[in-house]
Chain A
Amino acid sequence: MPWDRNQMAARAAEELEDGMYVNLGIGIPTLVANYVGDKDITLQSENGMLGMGPFPLEGEEDADLINAGKQTITELRRTSYFDSATSFGMIRGGKIAAAILGAMEVAENGDLANWMIPGKLVKGMGGAMDLVAGVGRVIVVMDHTNKHGESKLLKECTLPLTGQGVVDRIITNLGVLDVVEGGLKIVETAEGVTEAELRDATEATIV
Chain B
Amino acid sequence: MKKIYDTASSALDGVLQDGMLIAAGGFGLCGIPELLLQAIKDAGTKDLTFASNNAGVDDFGIGILLQTRQVKKMISSYVGENAEFMRQYLSGELELEFNPQGTLAERMRAGGCGIPGFYTKTGVGTVIAEGKEHKDFDGETYILERGIFADLSIVKAWKADETGNLVFRKTARNFNPPAAMCGKVCVAEVEEIVPLGSLDPDTIHLPGIYVHRLVQGTHEKRIEQRTVRQKETA
0/1 string, A46-60, CB within 8 A of B gives 1? 111100001111101
Q: In chain B, what residue has the closest Cβ to A49?
A: B171
Q: How far is the CA of A73 from the CA of B30 in the complex (A)?
A: 13
A201 contacts the other chain (CB 8 A): no
Q: How far is the CA of A87 from the CA of B176 in the complex (A)?
A: 13
B225:A66 contact, CB within 8 angstroms:
yes
- Residues in A neighbouring B178, C-beta threshold 8 A: 83-85
A55:B170 contact, CB within 8 angstroms:
no
B170:A81 contact, CB within 8 angstroms:
yes
A203 contacts the other chain (CB 8 A): no
0/1 string, B103-147, CB within 8 A of A gives 1? 111101100000000001111111110000000000000000000
B231:A130 contact, CB within 8 angstroms:
no
A92:B76 contact, CB within 8 angstroms:
no
- Residues in B neighbouring A130, C-beta threshold 8 A: 100-103, 122
Given A70-B224, A84-B53, A164-B125, decide whether A64 and B76 contact each other with a Cβ distance below 8 A: no
Q: How far is the CA of A49 from the CA of B27 in the complex (A)?
A: 13
Binds B, one of A12-20, A119-127, A170-178: A119-127
Given A62-B170, A81-B171, A84-B174, decide whether A121 and B86 contact each other with a Cβ distance below 8 A: yes
Q: In chain B, what residue has the closest Cβ to A127?
A: B101
Distance in Å from the Cβ of B169 to the closest Cβ of chain A?
Answer: 5
Binds A, one of B1-9, B42-50, B77-85, B193-201: B77-85
A88 contacts the other chain (CB 8 A): yes
Given A47-B27, A47-B174, A48-B27, decide whether A129 and B227 contact each other with a Cβ distance below 8 A: no
Given A56-B228, A70-B30, decide whether A129 and B128 contact each other with a Cβ distance below 8 A: yes
Given A64-B30, A127-B77, A130-B122, decide whether A83 and B177 contact each other with a Cβ distance below 8 A: yes
Given A57-B231, A133-B124, decide whether A47 and B77 contact each other with a Cβ distance below 8 A: no
- Residues in B neighbouring A63, C-beta threshold 8 A: 29-30, 172, 221-223
A129:B174 contact, CB within 8 angstroms:
no
A92:B177 contact, CB within 8 angstroms:
no
B212 contacts the other chain (CB 8 A): no
0/1 string, A77-113, CB within 8 A of B gives 1? 0000111110111011000000000000000000100
B229:A55 contact, CB within 8 angstroms:
yes
B102:A164 contact, CB within 8 angstroms:
no
Q: How far is the CA of A115 from the CA of B208 in the complex (A)?
A: 38
B170:A134 contact, CB within 8 angstroms:
no
B171:A45 contact, CB within 8 angstroms:
yes
Q: Which of A58, A85, A126 contacts B106 (CB 8 A)?
A: A85
A72:B227 contact, CB within 8 angstroms:
yes
Spell out B's residues near A (CB within 8 Å). Answer: 27-31, 53, 76-81, 86, 98, 100-106, 108-109, 120-128, 158, 168-178, 205, 221-231
Spell out A's residues near B (CB within 8 Å). Answer: 45-49, 54-58, 60-67, 69-73, 75, 81-85, 87-89, 91-92, 111, 121-130, 133-134, 160-165
6 contacts between A and B (CB under 8 A): A55-B228, A58-B230, A61-B223, A63-B29, A66-B27, A69-B225
Which 4 pairs of residues, A with B, have the shortest CB-CB distance? A88-B102, A164-B125, A123-B80, A130-B102
